[in-house]
Amino acid sequence: MVTAIPSIETYENIKKGKYKISNLENRFKKAPLPNYEILNLNNVKLKKNSWISNEIFNKVNFHLKKKDQVLFFLNRRGFSPSVFCKKCLKSFSCPNCSINLVYHKNKNNLLCHFCGFKAQLNRKCQKELSCDFIFSGPGVERIYEEVKSIFPSKKIEIFSSDTMNKKSFKKKLDKIVNNEVDILIGTQLISKGFHFPSLNCIVVVDVDLTSQGHDLRNAEKNLQLYHQLSGRAGRTGKPSMVYFQTYNTQTKIISDITNKNPKVFLEKEIEIRKINGLPPFQRFISLILTGENEIKLEKEAARFKTVLQSKINGKILGPVSAPLFKLKKKYRIRLLIRGSKTLKLQNSLSTIIQNYKFLSGIKLSVDVDPISFN
């Protein structure tokens, strides 16, 4: 197993001596790690339809003058993650999934990132004539427009799965490596192991750590993401910087995540898991029931829970609507089993499922030690 940052499970296995670890102590040619700066957006006034502070643009300008490549990172594809009408207030949402459609300006359509549903940006208004749209929040295409308006003469490229096919991907990579691109605007796709020799400045447009709620792995996923992202900067030994813009006033979390020694964060996280009886100290098994009939599904989930409760040695949480309640026309309800880490729990669950007859049209998926809690 090879990783920049191990999962909490793997880290615990290393600590217990179950796995043996070999560390790369230095970067290639001993290139120093980038330095960090956190910019609190609560203290600045951004212009309308602007997401990047003047202070950041000044810093970026300084890097561009040194011929450093600059990356603006925002993990949101398209132009705007949500579109609504200012007359009837109706937003565009997917008819198949419980999620907003994302507006893609380059393709001139609205897209569901889960099922691929497409819609056009014109609609009869429930109030009068046609809708008058407001685009709320930025995606990479919108950040591109803002950056282009500040640096009109610079070569700017968007790096996201929407803007590239296999062939143009290779071409774009070559351009970036040969420093024929001044500024990159990228999604998470860009954090994955690329070597861009001139990239020495990264701007994280919005560190969003607010969704900590429903996924216990959010903290470690953020650590992995921002650590990998930072690893794109300063790879040839030049001084490099990562700037984090944020509205989050708990900048302590960001400092922890950006600490050059990730063990500090991992140690804290493992303590939290231990105290709260979370994996890897307990077993989680997620059971998702799906079906097209919402009421039938709710009843079935309750009935299934009753059977589980009488036969399983563990705590059963739920049924609750899954965070993504509707996906590809099917409703999703979740049960979560919390129990000790023994095979007995899995075996008894397996027996129950084999002998249980679900109502027609209802499906069950089982995820032991789930990675995603959607």
- Burial track 45-80 (b if 16+ CB lie within 10 A, e otherwise): eeeeeebbbeebbebbeebbeeebbbbbbbbbbbbb
Q: Nearest distance from residue 49's CB to Zn ion, in Å?
A: 20
Q: Nearest distance from residue 138's CB to Zn ion, in Å?
A: 21
- CB contact at 8 A, 10 and 3: yes
Provide the binding-site residues for Zn ion, judged by CB under 5 A: 85, 87-88, 94, 96-97, 112, 114-115, 117, 125, 131
| Residue closer to Zn ion (CB basis): 125 or 352 | 125
| Residue closer to Zn ion (CB basis): 120 or 249 | 120
Q: Nearest distance from residue 323's CB to Zn ion, in Å?
A: 15
**Cβ neighbourhood burial of 137 (10 Å; 0-12, 13-18, 19+):** middle
Q: What residue type is 288 in one-letter code?
A: I
Q: Nearest distance from residue 117's CB to Zn ion, in Å?
A: 5
**Tokens in use for 206?**
């919005």
| Residue closer to Zn ion (CB basis): 183 or 327 | 327
At 89, is the secondary structure helix, strand, or coil? coil
Angstrom distance (rounded) from CA 173 to CA 177 = 6
Q: Nearest distance from residue 310's CB to Zn ion, in Å?
A: 37
Angstrom distance (rounded) from CA 280 to CA 278 = 6
Tokens 């500024």 correspond to 183
Angstrom distance (rounded) from CA 320 to CA 363 = 16
124: which DSSP letter? B
**Cβ neighbourhood burial of 109 (10 Å; 0-12, 13-18, 19+):** middle
- CB contact at 8 A, 160 and 189: yes
279: which DSSP letter? T
| Residue closer to Zn ion (CB basis): 96 or 293 | 96
| Residue closer to Zn ion (CB basis): 116 or 361 | 116
Beta bridge partners of 248: none
Q: Nearest distance from residue 128's CB to Zn ion, in Å?
A: 8
Pairing of strands 156-159, 183-186: parallel
Q: Nearest distance from residue 101's CB to Zn ion, in Å?
A: 8
| Residue closer to Zn ion (CB basis): 262 or 291 | 291
| Residue closer to Zn ion (CB basis): 14 or 125 | 125
Q: What are phi and psi of 350, to 5 degrees?
A: -60, -40
| Residue closer to Zn ion (CB basis): 91 or 293 | 91
Whats the size of the chain, residue-wise? Answer: 374
Q: Nearest distance from residue 81's CB to Zn ion, in Å?
A: 14
Pairing of strands 283-291, 315-327: unpaired
| Residue closer to Zn ion (CB basis): 87 or 338 | 87
Q: What residue type is 276 in one-letter code?
A: N
Q: Nearest distance from residue 245's CB to Zn ion, in Å?
A: 30
| Residue closer to Zn ion (CB basis): 115 or 253 | 115
Helices (H), 156-236: 166-177, 218-230
Q: Nearest distance from residue 287's CB to Zn ion, in Å?
A: 23
